[in-house]
Amino acid sequence: MNEEFIGALKEIVKEKGISEELLFTTIEDALVAAYKKNYANTGSTAQNVRVSMNRENGEIHVYAQKTVVENIQDDISEISLEKAKEISPRYEVDDIVDIEVTPRTFGRVAAQLAKQVVIQRIKEAERNIIYNEFVEKEFDIITGIIIRKDKGNVFVDLGKVEAILGPNEQMPGEEYNFNERLKLYIVEVKNTPKGAQVVVSRTHPGLVKRLFELEVPEIFEGIVEIKSISREAGSRTKIAVQSNDESIDAMGACVGPKGVRVQNIVSELKNEKIDIIKWSKLPEEYIANALSPAKVLDVTIDEESKSARVIVDDTQLSLAIGKEGQNVRLAAKLTGWKIDIKSKAQVEE
């Protein structure tokens, strides 16, 4: 060890954000283990040792630690009170005495080991920096580039880390081509021994929410609020919005001039249909709106069972239910109410 090495260590501490004391302590702990392995197995040297590394010039000293006793039972771990007093008059029984036992050849071992510890700590620090950077982006939107596919997973380059787009997070029918840029929703960030693992999604309703926040300034500013989203990825999404300013039309703000805002989102989601509906605190009105584009004649609710009976015109029944029941299913998920739809003719019967 020398001053140049210590200087380099301190530079690393600054650059990588590693605790200087933690780094030195870790090196000292590693040196204790190295000493015990290489030098303290002869039976003549104490196994209880302490290593001290000078924080300024890198000098290393190894000390055998012996307990002060009246009568010695074990030469390796004990020292008599008489001999301890020769070292320093302040020693009493049960005190610990440090006796230097630094081997001549220990410097070479120490230098090599210190280098390994520093490299390991740098890797850990870099992993933590990347993890902390991405954990702050959890539940947010990010753009990545597709780099490969393997066993149904799509791997996406996010710059400092690869993200995994698992089979369940992929939109049905969407193709994922090499080098294609893709907007993704960060579902989870895990801190693993190999570094940050970022799980992303194209199917999560949060992706639609974040896309609207990007496209619609009124949502980003909090003037228009997204109250609820229900989504069947790749097919259709319903989004309920409310304006906190009477002069701003929530649905109009989301659609944008000539429909450009919503169209940008539809394009990003590969032509997934999006129904923008007006949220209402009145369940009857909210449920009627949620069944858009169908026109509703009447809604009767049962608060206890949180269910609603909806009546529509005969010509609107199939539209209200939707293909394979999708429209009513999404409306129920959006509002949180069970919805039973009947046509006017069915009610009259």
Q: Clarify whether residues 64 and 129 are in a common domain.
A: yes
Digit-coded pLDDT (tens) for 63-100: 999 999 999 998 888 999 999 999 999 999 999 999 99
Q: Which of 201, 224, 255 is the last residue of a domain?
A: 201
Q: Clarify whether residues 186 and 227 are in a common domain.
A: no
The full 3-state SS of the chain, as one line of letters, equals: CCHHHHHHHHHHHHHHCCCHHHHHHHHHHHHHHHHHHHCCCCCCCCCCEEEEECCCCCCEEEEEEEEEECCCCCCCCEEEHHHHHHHCCCCCCCCEEEEECCCCCHHHHHHHHHHHHHHHHHHHHHHHHHHHHHHCCCCCEEEEEEEEEECCEEEEECCCCEEEECHHHCCCCCCCCCCCEEEEEEEEEEEECCEEEEEEECCCHHHHHHHHHHHCHHHHCCCEEEEEEEEECCCEEEEEEEECCCCCCHHHHHHCHHHHHHHHHHHHCCCCEEEEEECCCCHHHHHHHHCCCCCEEEEEEECCCCEEEEEECHHHHHHHHCHHHHHHHHHHHHHCCEEEEEEHHHHHC
Q: Clarify whether residues 115 and 143 are in a common domain.
A: no
CATH for 168: 2.40.50.140
Predicted confidence (pLDDT) at residue 40 exceeds the cutoff of 70:
no
Structural domains counted in the chain: 4
Q: Clarify whether residues 305 and 275 are in a common domain.
A: no
Q: Clarify whether residues 113 and 17 are in a common domain.
A: yes
Per the CB < 8 A criterion, the answer to whether 39 and 103 are in contact is: yes
CATH for 338: 3.30.300.20
Look at residue 123 in the predicted model and tell me its pLDDT. 85
Q: Clarify whether residues 233 and 296 are in a common domain.
A: no
Q: Clarify whether residues 128 and 26 are in a common domain.
A: yes
Q: What is the domain range of residue 309?
A: 282-349
CATH for 88: 3.30.1480.10
Predicted confidence (pLDDT) at residue 46 exceeds the cutoff of 60:
no
Look at residue 38 in the predicted model and tell me its pLDDT. 81
Q: Clarify whether residues 153 and 125 are in a common domain.
A: no
Q: Report residue 322's pLDDT band, with 50, 70 and 90 as the boundaries.
A: very high
Q: Clarify whether residues 35 and 113 are in a common domain.
A: yes
Q: Which of 110, 134, 158 is the last residue of a domain?
A: 134
For the whole model, what pTM was predicted? 0.76
Q: Clarify whether residues 86 and 175 are in a common domain.
A: no
Q: Which of 134, 167, 193 is the last residue of a domain?
A: 134
Q: Clarify whether residues 321 and 337 are in a common domain.
A: yes
**CA pair distance 312, 335, nearest whole angstrom:** 18
Q: Clarify whether residues 26 and 97 are in a common domain.
A: yes
